[in-house]
Each structure stands twice: as structure tokens, then as C-alpha cells.
Structure 1
Amino acid sequence: MKKAGLVLTSLLLVVGLVTGCGSTPPAATPNAATDMSADVKAIKDRGVLKVGVKVDVPNFGYKDPKTEKIEGFEIDLANVISKKIIGTEKIETQAVTAKTRGPLLDSGEVDLVIATFTVTEERKKSYNFSDAYFVDGVRLMVKKDAGIASLKDLDGKKIGVAQSATSKKAIQEQADKVGAKISFLEYATYPEIKTALVSGRVDCFSVDGSILSGYLDDSTVILADSFSPQDYGVASKKGNDGLAKLVNTTIADLKTSGELDKMIEKWGLK
């Protein structure tokens, strides 16, 4: 009897192995909730995407003094990303400048910076950047009656640039090539630079061409010179890799569908 019992037990074990009974259950198929990275889930649970944006760049991120509403191409892009994460367009904007946008990411006060932030190899060491959603070039704005037609004509002149922006380096490199000795005055905001140009404190206002176009008036002109292509990317904090991946996928989808071009066209950008 004992021997028969052992044989019966052995047979049951074999049947169990063949049918899968008693084996470790297969892992559950990941669903949207379990597959979501912790950084993205934190934003979804909070119910709002915090974004650093410009408020002084017409057509990109600009606060209308009459309505107090911030609008522009980059605000629209932030809303698209918000909808991807939360399911609705729910963003909380924080005004940033070229100097403050990095520290606000570092401190965690914003989840993303979408603020004409040029991607450079040096900056990629500190932040995650998406692929470019817009490409521009550094340009020069001068007074129409200044008699200035090119960077070479700015020899001995002062150029106004934004603090911590890439414009200064790009212009200096080109000035060295054409033999123009120039100096710089740095300002916190673009309106300050435009005011300095109008008042004569600087002879030129330099930043990316699409930004300059928002400050163009009857007394000024943007020169034909264009330097150093500027790739704008969405920046996120190092370590928030799930968020960076989602942003990049969203931008890729917008490019493929043609929606990104429509958004650019909507705001009259080139």
C-alpha cells in the first residue's frame, strides 16, 4: 500500500507539471496604471502639470496686459502634454527668464520648462531635453536710422542680450570671424533690452529671430545676418526619465501627424 501511494503521488506531480498546476503564475500583463513611471504618476495624481514658461515672448509665451492671460505656441504645447498625462488641459504656469528657468527645475517648483530653451551639449549635462520642437537662429535688431547693415558694422558698438542666454557666445564667435570688436550689456528680460535699444544704451538687440519679431516696430529692423541654429527643447529634471520619455513621444507624435506644424502656423512662426 505504501509503495502504491508513492507511485500515485509521483503520477500526480507529473500531471501537475504538465498542466501547470502548482507552478508559479505568469506575471500579470502591465496596464496603464502599473506601467506608468513614478514621476509621471505623481503629476497625474496631483492633477496639474507645473510648467515654466516665458511671459515676454509674443507668440511663444506672452502675458497679455489687458486680459492677464498667458498664451502662445509653447502654452499650447504644454496643454497637449498635460492632456497626455492627466487626460485634460490642466497646467499651472510659472514665469521664467533665461536665468531662472534652470534653478526652478532644480528645486522642483516646475515639472517642465517650455520657454525657448535652446538645447546645448553643456545644458544636457544638467537637464533632460526633448528633441527639438522648433529651430531658430540668433539675429540682430537695430534702429532703422543707425546705418547698420551687418554684424561687421557693429564694430565698437554695444549689444544687448539676455542673461544666461546662448546669444552672447554665438555673436562673439561670429564677431571674431569678421573682425568686429563688440561689447555686451546683459538684461533680465527682453522688454528691458528693447527699451535699452530705443533709449540708445545699446546699439543692437540680439536674440533668436522669432523672439525679435515680437518686438519689431516701425523704428527698427532685423538684419539678414543669422547665426548658430537654436534648437528649442522641453527640459525636465535629471532623474525624471519617465516624464522625459513621455514628452519626447508626444512631440514625435505631433510631428508625425502634422499637428506641430499647424500649431507653429497658428502663431505665425517661421
Structure 2
Amino acid sequence: MFNKVSLIALSLLAIVAIPSQSLAETVIERVARTGTLTVGARVDLVPYSYVNEKEELTGYSMDLIELIREQLEKDLGKKVKLNIVVDDEISDRIKSVINGEVDIVCDTIFTWQRDKFVDFSLAYSVSGIKLLVKKDSNLSSPESFKGKRIGIVKNSLRQEAIKVIESQVTIVNINSLEEGLKAVADGKIDGLAFDGTILEGMRQTLANPDAYKVVPNESYFRHGIACMIPENDSTFLNLVNYTIAKMMDGYLTGDSRYVEMINSYFGKDGIVTIQPDVIRNFFEMMIITREQIPPKEMSAE
């Protein structure tokens, strides 16, 4: 569907500081000068950004990045390439955006605290806190978690959010998502709290996915998934938001490219199944606050 970023290329990358440019230089000006869009990404967030069986970096967020790259090429009238910087820690990812080391980071949970330091795009997905537990457990309701050990990946969720589940749980700090999955498997924690969509995607990558479940059906604490860009760069933010809105509008109007893109991750045969009405309602809610993309612009691809 789209060109993927080879993992071989990722192995050649090192996270090094890019020489700082004038503070007046916007992302679009920098891309116009260098021909490169630098992207902070993770390689373990199924279905947003992950390495597939072909050793390619792919996912919903990476396909969105490809759309943004194409829009930059169209607006600038020149070729634009992607420079992928693997950045796992959320605190490091925010610093990278602030310092100008990367131009954009997607698959990020919006929080008001983070919004003080970077700007966020339109949300292109919505999820919330769920828990990965063993399938044979009886854990699902807030009451069932009372006194249980709940793992939280450090810096991934505000601890206040977990109180929505149950104020009397025992919080266990986990260093990484992978460590949390193993802790559930080993019985060191009773459940792992994280973004529900990602937990479901990660569950399906396990050697024995049917031994686990993601609960409950309704998320405990909802949040939007969006892209972070440097603060006060309205020109680039407008381009990113326009690209997201065009993707959503294309899906709603039945454009095959966007329908296939969304369905490959969230359709009935996708990685994480989401009912089409839920997707349509979310997309409609997001773009109704903006302007519908003019048909001539949708057909100009």
C-alpha cells in the first residue's frame, strides 16, 4: 500500500543532536532546505508503529507519516525523504521535539501537561486505559482489581489516571511494555495498564495470545492519540492537521486508499478490530469542527 521504512536503515541511525538552526526556521523551511523530514518513532507499538515480519517499520502512525511526507512534497514541489530516529522514552521524545532534533513524533497520548511544551495535532485515533490479564483470571470490573498488583510503564500514564480503575490497587512501576507483558506472564503482577488498542495489538504478537485478554470492553480513561510537533509552528501544524483531516474525509467518502489503510489495522481482518460505525463516528466528530476537504483536492492525488 505505502512504501515502508526498512529496519536495516534504522540500524544505521544514531540519535545525535542536529546542529541547531535559527529559532525562526520552521519545520517546513528546514525540510525545504534539507529535503528531509526527521521523525521520532518507536518500533514496538502494535498497531501504530512496529516492525513486521519483513523487518519493515510499519503501522497506522507510520502510514500517516507517509501521507505527511507526500503532502510536504506536493506543497514544496520537491522530493522529501524520511529520517527515522528510534526514540522509546516519552520524556526523550518530548525533549527531541523541543530541541529540534526531530520534526514530528506521532502515536503519542495527548495530555494537558505535555501540551505546555509541544503542540499536538488533531487526534487521529482515540483509546483509553485497559488492562492485559491472564484469560483464566476473573479480573475485569473495578471491584475485581481491589488489592491487586497493577503494572504501569513509567512515564506512560499519570498515576492519577489509574485511580479511575480502583483507588486501592497496588501500583508496580515497570520499565517497559515488554517487561510488563513478561511480568503478567510470570505472575509478578496481576494486570498491566496501558493504552487498550496497543495492548490488544501486542497481545496478538505473543506466542500464546489466547492465554490473555484485554479488559474491560469500555476503556476506563479515554485519551486521544496525536502527533507532537514543535510549539508555535503553525504552518507545519496546519499541514499535519490538513493531512489527517484529508485521511479521515477520504475514509468517510469511500476513497479506496484511505479505506484500505484504516481497514488493514482496524477493519474486521485488521490487527485490532474496531466496528466501522465507531471509526466513522470518531472521524466525523473530528472533522466536523473543521472544513470538509474540497472534492477537487481529494481527487487531485
CA distance in 2, matches of 1:222, 1:51: 30
**45 and 137 in structure 1: CA distance in 2 versus 1, 3 angstrom threshold:** same
- In structure 1, give the amino acid aligned to 2:264: K
Task: Look up the SS of the partner of 1:253 in the other structure.
Answer: helix
CA distance in 1, matches of 2:231, 2:163: 30
Task: Look up the SS of the partner of 2:245 in the other structure.
Answer: helix
Who is 1:107 aligned against?
99
Q: Which range moves more in the overlay, 89-98 or 196-205?
A: 89-98
Who is 1:8 aligned against?
none
Who is 1:263 aligned against?
261
Task: Look up the SS of the partner of 1:173 in the other structure.
Answer: coil
Who is 1:27 aligned against?
none
Alpha-carbon shift at residue 102 of structure 1 (Å): 1.0
Once the two structures are superposed, residues 23-62 of structure 1 have per-residue CA deviations (whole angstroms, 9 ceiling, x without a partner) of: xxxxxxxxxxxxxx84302113211211112211122111
Q: Which range moves more in the overlay, 203-212 or 82-91?
A: 82-91
Alpha-carbon shift at residue 150 of structure 1 (Å): 2.0
CA distance in 1, matches of 2:172, 2:158: 12
Task: Look up the SS of the partner of 1:41 in the other structure.
Answer: helix
Once the two structures are superposed, residues 205-231 of structure 1 have per-residue CA deviations (whole angstroms, 9 ceiling, x without a partner) of: 111111011222121111225212110
Who is 2:171 aligned against?
184
CA distance in 2, matches of 1:172, 1:241: 36
Output the aligned Cα RMSD.
2.1
- In structure 2, give the amino acid aligned to 1:45: R
Match of 2:42 among 43, 54, 62: 54
Structure 1: segments with no counterpart, 5+ residues: 1-36
Alpha-carbon shift at residue 262 of structure 1 (Å): 4.1
**85 and 188 in structure 1: CA distance in 2 versus 1, 3 angstrom threshold:** farther
- In structure 2, give the amino acid aligned to 1:230: H
Match of 1:229 among 222, 231, 247: 222
Instruction: Report if the CA contact (8 A) 1:162-1:186 is conserved.
Output: yes
Task: Look up the SS of the partner of 2:122 in the other structure.
Answer: coil
- In structure 2, give the amino acid aligned to 1:204: G
CA distance in 2, matches of 1:196, 1:99: 23
Instruction: Report if the CA contact (8 A) 2:42-2:50 is conserved.
Output: yes
Instruction: Report if the CA contact (8 A) 1:139-1:226 is conserved.
Output: yes
Alpha-carbon shift at residue 171 of structure 1 (Å): 2.0
Larger Cα-atom Rg: 1
Who is 2:198 aligned against?
211
Structure 2: segments with no counterpart, 5+ residues: 1-24, 204-208, 252-256, 275-301
User: Which runs of structure 2 are paired with 1:21-40 in the superposition (5 Å)?
Assistant: 38-40=26-28
- In structure 1, give the amino acid aligned to 2:105: V
Alpha-carbon shift at residue 89 of structure 1 (Å): 6.4
Match of 1:93 among 84, 100, 110: 84
- In structure 2, give the amino acid aligned to 1:201: K
CA distance in 2, matches of 1:260, 1:182: 42
Match of 2:58 among 71, 91, 95: 71
Answer yes or no: is 1:245 the counterpart of 2:238.
yes
CA distance in 2, matches of 1:158, 1:63: 30
Alpha-carbon shift at residue 143 of structure 1 (Å): 0.8
Tell me which protein shows more helix as a share of its residues. Answer: 1
Instruction: Report if the CA contact (8 A) 1:48-1:86 is conserved.
Output: no
Once the two structures are superposed, residues 173-195 of structure 1 have per-residue CA deviations (whole angstroms, 9 ceiling, x without a partner) of: 3313xxxx112223332111101
- In structure 1, give the amino acid aligned to 2:247: L
CA distance in 1, matches of 2:163, 2:227: 26
Who is 1:254 aligned against?
247
CA distance in 2, matches of 1:84, 1:222: 36
**147 and 228 in structure 1: CA distance in 2 versus 1, 3 angstrom threshold:** closer
Alpha-carbon shift at residue 198 of structure 1 (Å): 0.7
Who is 2:292 aligned against?
none
Q: Which range moves more in the overlay, 80-89 or 237-246?
A: 80-89
CA distance in 2, matches of 1:94, 1:52: 5
Alpha-carbon shift at residue 260 of structure 1 (Å): 5.0
Alpha-carbon shift at residue 204 of structure 1 (Å): 0.3
Percent identical: 26
Alpha-carbon shift at residue 155 of structure 1 (Å): 1.3
Instruction: Report if the CA contact (8 A) 2:164-2:220 is conserved.
Output: no
